[in-house]
Structure 1
């Protein structure tokens, strides 16, 4: 890959948990900035699709586990910077995104990394109603204790052409003429995944300016869950009946069925959904990182083509 003279040119950046949705988009942005990458996760083979996008020797893959410090020490060895993308909704959350994040930060510091970016989430709260929110807050505290000049990024829900958020609802809307909506009034501030990647790059490129700070990242508009579903249906050219469910019904449903393997909503997910996902009024955000986030509407019509009746050969305006 040709040099473009960026601040990250030739730097070795380790993406821990980098084989997922966000990691793939972030890797592409970092590669375009001339960085060298080590993508580390429990299943690094999931990121092999990135090989053709890199120059010779520009990207490598490594296996690690947040619950195994020895494996973390190996993958951060020689790193100029480390980005923690690991997150989970189930299992031992503290081991993965609580104390595990702190261990990773400590090992990165000991390895001589000059920058550490920890991707947390809006809603991280030590007194939160869910283990997820509490473990996210614990992870932030542990990271800053081990690496005081780390940058904390709290993105809202991320969307992209290959996400598991917009596409999940798109598939359901395409298949069902009537659809219940859990938490219809819950507010979200969806952020384009490539803008989230730009935020990480900005934090890494100027670690001196952004180190030790926390940023909450959201898109340019706040949408309710019902509005998101309505926009998806409109972009598909489909007429759908949405049934907003009362909180009491949603809570009962999640409590009674959430333990099932294929349940659409667990109790914890319901609590997170009900709380919403928007940037706090006084929080530093995308603007402080020099980013103008792009709205969902800029992409939705194009992305929904494959969900329309007859696909790209159909008319968007034809209700189905």
Structure 2
């Protein structure tokens, strides 16, 4: 399609993005902007979404107030939309923001609103989502998928592994910890396997789904090109930040006790449920690979960690970007 024709076609099409101002949301908005889609970003605090405006053209991106716990606000945000994207999720529970309220009830509310509007739905879940999981996070993610498909059977579900990028909550957390702590914990010995995926690649998958290039009613599993253990990821953090720190194995039971203490903090670095999650590998399944329900199946060449992570973890070095590798601290 010629650029002018695409602009005329997509600029008349409204895409509503729940959670569009968050870490992944910013990448999604940036990925969709060049395709001229008109975007309505539905967030709890529209006044804090101003950073999205420069990502698109004048009038292309508009923030509105919506709360997944309020069905009326969700329905209002979805009105006149052709596509609805749900990116909302929480890593730990706090007050009314429980896993059940956000992951399950919130996702079901969005799915019902999209179905009532006749809009296509793209729901971002997580690898490991399973209604039978022993971890509440994964269990509610699995229950959410079931609720989404019940309300909107043609929904496209995207399950990313751990997402990395400049503002991620994974590499940044451990790099910050290495700056002040003498050691980094290897929960369960650090043997859990991950397949970290770049936020921009997840956003590219969302872009494909918005354009109708993903199979309706399908669950895609999104992982990067590398599988690494937790221990290997901690070594990567230390290598990039150029710090020498001990890597100390911590049994699961001890980590759970520590998580029980830390979970009362406003932003806990560890919770008992996160420890439970670490008992299961977080990688793309063989079935998803075999059936092309992956980034490669969507025609996306995934970025390696080495291509992206050093570009933002350098700031955790003692003297910044130009620190000599000869003197580690």
TM-score (norm 1): 0.92
In 1, Cα distance between the equivalents of 2:83 and 2:46?
A: 19
In 2, Cα distance between the equivalents of 1:160 and 1:8?
A: 31
Match of 1:5 in 2: 6
In 1, Cα distance between the equivalents of 2:253 and 2:112?
A: 43
Contact 1:7 1:205 in 2 (8 A): no
Match of 1:77 in 2: 79
Match of 2:134 in 1: 129
Matched residue SS, 2:217: coil
Residues 192-234 of structure 1: per-residue CA shift (max 9 Å, x gap): 0000000111111116x51111101111111111111111111
How many residue pairs get aligned? The number is 316
In 2, Cα distance between the equivalents of 1:246 and 1:291?
A: 38
User: Which of 37, 57, 61 in structure 2 is aligned with 1:35?
Assistant: 37
Per-residue deviation, 1:258:
4.4
Match of 2:164 in 1: 159
Match of 1:232 in 2: 237
Indicate yes or no: 2:173 matched with 1:168: yes
Match of 1:47 in 2: 49
**Cα pair distance change 1:7/1:269, threshold 3 Å:** farther
In 2, Cα distance between the equivalents of 1:7 and 1:192?
A: 31
List runs of 5+ in structure 2 lacking aligned partners: none
RMSD after superposition: 2.0
Match of 1:214 in 2: 219
In 2, Cα distance between the equivalents of 1:8 and 1:276?
A: 43
Contact 1:190 1:218 in 2 (8 A): yes
Q: How does 1:297-312 map to 2 (within 5 A)?
A: 297-312=306-321
**Cα pair distance change 1:100/1:148, threshold 3 Å:** same
**Cα pair distance change 1:154/1:6, threshold 3 Å:** farther
Matched residue SS, 1:216: strand
Matched residue SS, 2:10: coil
Contact 1:189 1:223 in 2 (8 A): yes
Per-residue deviation, 1:304:
2.4
Contact 2:186 2:247 in 1 (8 A): yes
Per-residue deviation, 1:4:
8.4
Per-residue deviation, 1:9:
2.7
**Cα pair distance change 1:227/1:6, threshold 3 Å:** farther
Q: How does 1:81-96 map to 2 (within 5 A)?
A: 81-88=83-90, 89-90=92-93, 91-96=97-102
State which drifts further: 92-101 or 55-64.
92-101
User: Which of 51, 58, 61 in structure 1 is aligned with 2:60?
Assistant: 58
Contact 1:41 1:65 in 2 (8 A): yes
Q: How does 1:270-289 map to 2 (within 5 A)?
A: 270-283=275-288, 284-289=293-298
Residues 101-132 of structure 1: per-residue CA shift (max 9 Å, x gap): 1221121122231x210001111111111222
**Cα pair distance change 1:302/1:4, threshold 3 Å:** farther
Contact 1:99 1:138 in 2 (8 A): no
Matched residue SS, 2:63: strand
In 2, Cα distance between the equivalents of 1:146 and 1:6?
A: 31
**Cα pair distance change 1:44/1:168, threshold 3 Å:** same
Matched residue SS, 2:269: coil
State which drifts further: 121-130 or 293-302.
293-302
Contact 2:21 2:52 in 1 (8 A): no
In 2, Cα distance between the equivalents of 1:118 and 1:9?
A: 21
In 2, Cα distance between the equivalents of 1:58 and 1:6?
A: 11
Residues 253-296 of structure 1: per-residue CA shift (max 9 Å, x gap): 334x1442254321111101222311111112111111111111
